[in-house]
Amino acid sequence: MRRVVVAGLAALVIGAALPVAAVEVGTSAPLLNLPGLQGPVDSGALKGRVVFVDFWASWCAPCRRSFPWLNDMQARYGARGLQVVGVNVDRERADADRFLAEVPARFAIAFDAAGDAPKRFAVKGMPTSVLVGADGRVIRQHTGFRDEDRAELEAAIVEALGRAAR
């Protein structure tokens, strides 16, 4: 019993010493510099814009449902300063290309087959979105996509755009 308690305490101490997730609200968002459909996607070049980073994969069913909504958000709010960036995490580019042929994206698409960006953003599931304010700081992270999430996510985008305009 004592070994179990000691092991548990050791795990807590080690866990407490680990770095905090890179995407805590209020922290600077990790930078992206990835190959994209229309050339490199460099989040540093998006400073001053509100950025909705969406991590997705070809095998992800909720991702198929989120793309039309992401297209709509980019069309509605792009002129006000929103940039949606979809980061594909498939190991094979052909898988992503097949997905995009079926479910087109009218927003920036980046490819990260190595999976570095999802690690830096502490992605735990697909899809995961991270809303980044015009100041480059994380406003919120959201995992999954359901129809009932749409209004809340859009409200967060609108609020971030309002703050950026001040």
Give 8-33 pLDDT, tens digit per residue.
333 333 333 334 445 899 999 999 99
Angle in degrees, 0-180, between the axes of helices 61-77 and 93-102, rounded to the nearest 10: 60
CATH of domain 21-165: 3.40.30.10
Residue whose token pair is 């100041």:
135
Q: What angle do CA 41, 66, 98 make, to 5 degrees?
A: 65
pLDDT in tens, 103-131: 999 999 999 999 999 999 999 999 999 99
pLDDT at site 6? 34
pLDDT in tens, 48-63: 999 999 999 999 999 9
Q: Distance between CA 111 and CA 96 in Å, rounded? A: 9
> What is the pTM for the complete model shown?
0.86
Q: What angle do CA 58, 75, 84 make, to 5 degrees?
A: 50
